[in-house]
Structure 1
Amino acid sequence: MALTPRLSGQVAARAHHSGAARLLKRAAPFFAIGEVSGGPLLIASLIALALVNSPLSAGYEQIWDTPLRLSYGGQAIALPLAEWVNDALMPLFFLIIGTEVKREFSKGSLSSLKTAVLPVAGAIGGLVVPIGIYFAFNYGTDTQHGWGVVAAMDTAFSLAIVAIFTTRLPPAVRAVLLAFAAIDDVFGLLVIAFAYTETLQASYLLLAGAGYIGILILLRLGWVASVAYVLLGAAVWIGVLGSGVHPTIAGVAIGLLLPTSSRLSEQRFVERVQRPVDRLRRAQKVASTATDGETAERGREEAQSQLGYIHEMAAATDEPAERLVRILTPWVSYFVLPLFALSNVRIHLSGELIGEALQSPLALGIVVGLVIGKPVGFFAATRMAAAVGIGKLPEGVTWRMIVGVGGVAGIGFTISLFIAELAFAGAERTEVAALAILTASLIAGLFGYVMLWSAAKDMDGKQAAD
Structure 2
Amino acid sequence: MSLTPRLSGKIAARAHHSPATAAFFHRLAPFFATDQVVGGPLLVATVVALICTNSALAHAYEAFWDKELAISLGVMRTAHPLADWVNDALLPLFFLIIGAEVKREFTKGALSTVRTAAFPLAGAIGGIVVPIAVYLAFTYGTEAAHGWGTVITSDTAFALAIIGLFATRLPTSVRAVLLAFAAIDDVGGLLVIAVAYTDALHVAALIVAIMAYAAMFGALKLRLVSPIPYVLLGLIVWGGTYVSGIHATIAGVMLGLLSPTRSRLSEHRFADRVQEPIDRFQAAVEDARQADDGDADAEEAERRTQKQLGYLQEMTQATDEPAERLVQMLNPWVSYVVLPLFALSAVRIHFSADLLADAAGSLLGLGVFAGLAFGKPLGFLSATWLSVKLRVAELPEAVSWRMVLGVGALSGIGFTISLFIANLAFPDAQRTEMASLAVLVASLVSAGFGYVALRWAAVSIEQESGNA
TM-score of the superposed pair, with normalisation by structure 1: 0.99
In 2 relative to 1, CA 291–11 (structure 1 residues): closer, same or farther, beyond 3 Å? closer
Mean Cα deviation higher: 18-27 or 74-83: 18-27
Aligned length in residues: 466
Query: For each residue in 1:181-205, what CA deviation from the matched residue of structure 2 results, as whole angstroms up to 9, or x when unmatched?
Result: 0000000000101110010011111
* Equivalent in the alignment of 1:113: 114
Alpha-carbon deviations, 1:383-409, whole Å to 9, x = none? 111111111111111101101001011
Encode CA deviations 1:378-432: one digit per residue, 9 max, x unaligned: 1111111111111111111110110100101100111101100000000000000
Paired with 1:8 and 1:133, the residues of 2 have a C-alpha distance of: 42
1:15 Cα shift? 4.3
Listed as ranges, the matches of 1:233-248 within 5 Å are: 233-248=234-249
Q: Distance in 2 between matches of 1:34 and 1:356?
A: 42
Asked if 1:377 corresponds to 2:379, the answer is yes
Q: How does 1:339-418 map onto structure 2 within 5 Å?
A: 339-418=341-420
Counterpart Cα distance in 1 of 2:90 and 2:131: 28
8 A contact 1:362–1:433 mirrored in 2: yes
Give the stretch that moved more between structures: 83-92 or 201-210. Answer: 201-210
CA distance in 1, matches of 2:416, 2:165: 21
Is 1:122–1:382's contact at 8 Å kept on the other side of the alignment?
Answer: yes
SS in 2 for 1:437: helix
Decide which of 431, 444, 457 is 1:455's aligned counterpart: 457
Is the 1:52–1:347 contact (alpha carbons within 8 Å) kept by the matching residues of 2? yes
Deviation at 1:13, TM superposition (A): 5.0
AA matched with 1:388? L
State the match for 2:313 in structure 1. Answer: 311
The one-letter code of the counterpart of 2:192 is V
Alpha-carbon spacing, 1:15–1:295, altered in 2? closer, same or farther (3 Å): closer
Instruction: Tell me how far apart the structure 2 counterparts of residues 108 and 78 of structure 1 sit (CA, whole Å).
Output: 42
Given that residues 15 and 25 in structure 1 are in contact (C-alpha distance below 8 angstroms), is that contact kept between their aligned partners in structure 2? no
TM score, norm. by length of structure 2: 0.98
Q: Give the Å deviation of 1:14.
A: 3.4
- Give the root-mean-square deviation of aligned CA atoms: 1.0
Shift of 1:8: 2.0
Check conservation: 1:14, 1:22, Cα contact below 8 A: no
Deviations 1:300-319 (A, max 9, x none): 10111111111110010011
Alignment partner, residue 11 of structure 2: 11
| Counterpart residue number, 2:258 | 257
CA 1:343 to 1:291, structure 2 compared with 1: closer, same or farther past 3 Å? closer
Separation in 2, partners of 1:153, 1:447: 15
Task: Say if 2:45 is the partner of 1:44.
Answer: yes
SS of equivalent to 2:77: strand
Task: Please identify, of 58-67 and 392-401, the stretch whose mean Cα deviation from structure 2 is larger.
Answer: 392-401
Deviation for aligned residue 1:291? 4.3
Which amino acid in structure 2 is aligned with residue 182 of structure 1?
A: A
Contact 1:403/1:451 (<8 A) preserved: yes
Provide closer, same or farther for how the CA distance between residues 40 and 201 of structure 1 changes in structure 2, counting only shifts above 3 A: same
**CA–CA separation in structure 1 for the residues paired with 2:68 and 2:362:** 33
Residue 458 of structure 2 is aligned to residue 433 of structure 1: no
Identity within the alignment, %: 57
Distance of 2:322 and 2:463 partners within structure 1: 40
1:20 CA drift (Å): 2.1
